[in-house]
Chains A and B, each alone.
Chain A
Amino acid sequence: MDLDYHALAPELVVAATILVVLTLDVVLSRPRKYWTAFAGVLGLAVAAVPLLTLAFGDGPETRSMLGGAYVVDGFSLVLKAVFIVGGYLVLLMSVSYIESDRYYQGEYYLLMLTSILGSLVMASSRDLITLFVGLELVTGPLFLLAGWRKGSAKSNEASLKFFILGVLSTAILLYGMSFLYGLTGSVTFEGIREAGADLLDSGAFRLAVLFTLVGFGFKVTAVPFHFWAPDTYEGAPTPVTAYLSVGSKAAGFVGLLLLCYKALPSVTEIWGPALWVLAALSMTLGNLTALRQDNVVRMLAYSSIAQGGFILVPFAAAAASNDAAVIQEAASATIVYVIIYAFMNLGAFGVVIAGARRTGSTMIDDWAGMWRYAPRLAVLGAMFFFSLAGIPPLAGWYAKFAMFLSILRPGNAWATTLAVIAAVNAVIALVYYARIAKTMWMDPVPEGATHMAEATGPLSGSLTLALGISAIFVVVAGILPFEFAGVFADLAKVVTTGI
């Protein structure tokens, strides 16, 4: 066993945190259960430390262990950072939400941390088995968390729908993977890459690739594999939804990235057009559908479908060219988008959580005139929503910019067409994002809303912290993309060279 404990440290810390939370949950009496939250948050913070030491300690080198089955390199470090920071923010948002009701706190954090652990595993996986198990580790707890509001019929439904479609997607994914393995004789990405090049013309291989993609398409809510998302997002506890739309979705993209760039770079002809179609469909249908939503969570669900489409665009770009530089740029565009999307979408959900507490509703119309009684929240809301819409100088612009950059680079007609579709969609998206801003800023306060707002009092500290972190990121990264805190600059290079 050639274990590199330094490289494994983040996972180990998270795993240890899970056990600590488990223990605390058993030991602590009910009023003290918030310590589990504290432990979880602290654990994630500690897990970030080895990330930094790995990244900057002796340079971002590639650390491979267990015969190449598990690799820690720039690519995985960046993504792990996203998962840990994103998870950290979700936990912060969860605190008051989970505390405020009779939810099972200890178990909640345990499941959440387990899911985060799964995403860490995925980021380092370099074979189908690890990838698959990691994915299940991400998803399994989420099936349960989606139904965490046990008393709510909506939550039950969310959970069941998510679960049934989830296992369906797992089955399809596995069926595809079985062929991937079967036709190449290898479960490692490297082996698949080497053998796959000769299988380009094999229909069964194509089936294998496409079924595997479909499995991940479920995670990233690509149309038409998205149907579970709106119902689940709406029904699940909002912090869980936030995590679903960010962490779990990012995990899906990690799977796609690994699959497309590490395992199947030689057969772009297979997955490129498929992802082109999924990207176009997701952007267009997601946006069009989001136009008609009255519930802010549901709207964010469709928006997240559309954003998923945007994130898929660079894949199509990579497939449209054989140039290594183009492919690298496409990969980094996806990663950049995922990073920025994580922060802004989490911010948006933070606003939703806070706004729902303020108004007692997630219906957009009930948020009318919010800036009069909750100006800071309204400012933050406008910031995150317009960032999602890609309006400079908020960070979202750079995500879209990088996406456009990648899709235009190949310069062929298909790629350019997709760019135009994306451009039109960017405009459509503005409509519903601006609609929320409009409601919060420009509509009169409905009767009685102010009293309710006064009654609920100020935001909890942890939620404020989460919103603050997201907001600072969204602004700073928008003005100085890639220079934020000077941290990611080097890693970004690794991203582009590591694949």
Chain B
Amino acid sequence: MAWFESAGLSLIVFLPAVGALALFAIPKAREDAQKWLALVTTGLTAVLAVAVAANFRYGASEKFQFEVSESWIPAIGARYHVGVDGISLPLLVLSAVVTVLAVIYSWDHWEEPRNVRGFLALMLLLATGMNGTFVALDLVLFFIFFELVLLPMYFMIGIWGDSAKRHIPVLGRTVTMRLYAAIKFFIFTLFGSAFMLLGFLALYFRSGDFLGHNTFDIPTLIALGSQNAFGSGTFAFLVFGAMFLGFAVKVPMWPFHTWLPDAHTAAPTVGSVLLAAILLKLGSYAFLRISIPILPDMAREWAPFIGLLAVIGIIYGSLACLAQTDIKRLIAFSSVGHMGFVMLGIATMTDVGFNASLIGMVAHGLITGLLFFLAGSMHHRYHTREIARLGGNQKLMPWMGGILAFTAMASLGLPGLAGFWGEFMSLLGAYRPLAGLSLSQFQTYMVIGAIGTVLTAGYMLWMLQRVNLGEPKAEWSDHEFHDVEPTEWLAWAPLIVAIVAIGVYPRIVLGATTDAVVNLARNAFGG
């Protein structure tokens, strides 16, 4: 299957975009045809992604596979270079699969103003951006895909988002959430990526000093990085810092996170799901793909700082959750905490830490994605997200409540479910960070992170208690509630299965990543 080796990844990336265009060939009124087209497109993409995973040579997961490198912008030496290795493979599959589920879920969940074609097209465009980011092996290409997700998400939030008003302190204005959140998301990310781009360009220029020609090629730069070509001087410091800004905003790390609660809360359900499940991963993935292997010495110097922000994020996110009255906002803040664990793993600069971050990303994608699905469906039924008005959900909708409880358990890191491994391995990595990093400092991070797990459990249980348990409020007494519907089952079941499967058998993810991260740590830091 030579064609698959060479065209597989490109198909995964561009098939959704083609689907988005094709949608406009279907008359606006024929919504079913549009849905089917979107489903077939994303489904095919997911099948291809799974096929890539199936044909992936796990024995050589540290090598890029399905690699394609074509001329793209010769004037600057940017190439269309894509490939997957053990680090990107799980995320690529996650992205492709979650997109299908989002389409399935959308089948009978539409936000006003109803525009099936537009919404699906944005979703497909988003998929191209997400899938592309995970396979790009050229900095410019990476940048393009990294930014490509902005527009669809901006419109998704802005058009179909929550129209509730919210008073913004300091600004002294009451804003419409969807508008505020959309532009906030956009500006934050663009702000970060503007600096990220400067960092990329600086790398590009400096690479010429060693190669004789400038390059944007990530594998080539990684090879330079493993010889520590860029050193640890001011140059590397600034470049790392610039890229850090870009990635940290996307993750988002404390204190660059404030776009996230607003965006997640305001976005339509599917938007929140994709945002949480995939978009947040672009940043943390970029650390592993770009920052650390290319600038290892600087990564080592930044590590304590990254770790500090990560643990602040863990504690801060959890505490903020405890103060939330809106279930979606609570879930959103929980992402700050969970991504804190992901970043703590990265900050340890060890293979175990990197592994922790990767499985943490996948787990967070599955779990928080599912949580947002649930929050969306509940909002759909209750027409409110006020925790205070919910209660007794378990009684009104047993299955829904059950799944919510399951997901909450997974989210609080119950061992045996997917969420646990990332947290555990982050802490494990923090106990023995990269040689040369301050042991006492990272062990302090470890302890704080561990305390964070308690707080996580605290707000999740408290949320469950207030939402799921107890007697239903009187206002719902003459309401008709229908429990989980078929499309919801179809969209959620794979997530549930995956959460359990990865929880019991983490090799599903780690089998691909371990060799790659061991290799990454070894190349970057020696030994």
Contact = CB atoms under 8 A, between A and B. Distances in A.
Indicate yes or no for A touching B, C-beta below 8 A.
yes
Interface of A: 332, 372, 382, 386, 391-393, 397-398, 401-402, 404-405, 408-409, 411, 419-420, 423-424, 426-427, 430-431, 434-435, 437-438, 441-442, 480-483, 489, 492
A393 B187 CA distance: 17
B155 A441 contact: yes
A426 B194 contact: yes
B307 to A, nearest CB: 27
**Interface hub of B73, B143, B182, B197 (most chain A Cβ within 10 A):** B197
Interface string B179-205: 100110011001100110110011011
A386 B183 CA distance: 13
B73 A481 contact: yes
A404 B74 contact: no
Nearest to A488: B75
A3 B178 CA distance: 63
A391 B151 contact: yes
B159 interface: yes
B147 A441 contact: no
Given A427-B194, A431-B183, 14 more contacts: A391-B147, A391-B190, A392-B143, A404-B198, A411-B202, A411-B205, A424-B191, A427-B187, A434-B187, A438-B182, A481-B73, A481-B75, A483-B72, A492-B75
Interface in B179-237: 179, 182-183, 186-187, 190-191, 194-195, 197-198, 201-202, 204-205
B498 interface: no
B148 interface: yes
B497 interface: no
B76 interface: yes
Give chain B's interface residue range (CB within 8 Å of chain A). Answer: 20 to 34
A442 B144 contact: no
Contacts of B155: 382, 437, 441
Contact of B72 (A420, A427, A430, A480): A480
A409 B74 contact: no
6 contacts: A391-B147, A392-B143, A404-B198, A438-B183, A442-B178, A442-B179
Contacts of B186: 430, 434
A492 B74 CA distance: 11
Nearest to B125: A393
B151 A427 contact: no
B11 to A, nearest CB: 16
Contacts of B182: 438, 442
B154 interface: yes
B118 to A, nearest CB: 8
Given A434-B154, A482-B74, A408 B183 contact: no
B137 interface: no
A395 to B, nearest CB: 12
B197 A430 contact: no
Interface of B: 72-76, 113, 140, 143-144, 147-148, 150-151, 154-155, 158-159, 178-179, 182-183, 186-187, 190-191, 194-195, 197-198, 201-202, 204-205
B150 A405 contact: no
B151 A386 contact: yes
A409 B140 CA distance: 16
A74 to B, nearest CB: 14
A426 B73 CA distance: 22
A408 B207 CA distance: 13
A402 B204 CA distance: 13
B197 A401 contact: yes
A221 B73 CA distance: 31
Given A401-B140, A441-B158, A442-B182, A423 B195 contact: yes
Contact of A427 (B75, B148, B154, B191): B191
A489 B159 contact: no
Contacts of A402: 76
A409 B144 contact: no
Contacts of B151: 382, 386, 391
A272 B147 CA distance: 32
B201 to A, nearest CB: 5
Contacts of B201: 404-405, 408
Nearest to B214: A409
Nearest to B28: A375
A423 B194 CA distance: 5
B183 A434 contact: yes
A482 B178 contact: no
Contact of B144 (A392, A423, A427, A435): A392
Given A391-B147, A431-B187, A482-B74, A438 B194 contact: no
A474 B284 CA distance: 31
Contacts of A482: 73-75
User: Of residues A398, A424, A435, which shows the largest number of chain B Cβ atoms within 10 Å of its Cβ?
Assistant: A398
Contact of B198 (A398, A420, A480, A492): A420
A404 B139 CA distance: 14
Q: Which of B75, B159, B197, B205 has the most CB of A within 10 A?
A: B75
A483 B151 CA distance: 24
A438 B197 contact: no
Given A391-B150, A392-B143, A442-B178, A430 B195 contact: no
A438 B313 CA distance: 31
A392 B194 contact: no
A408 B205 contact: yes
A475 B66 CA distance: 27
Given A391-B147, A441-B155, A492-B75, A424 B205 contact: no
Contacts of A441: 155, 158-159
B74 A489 contact: yes
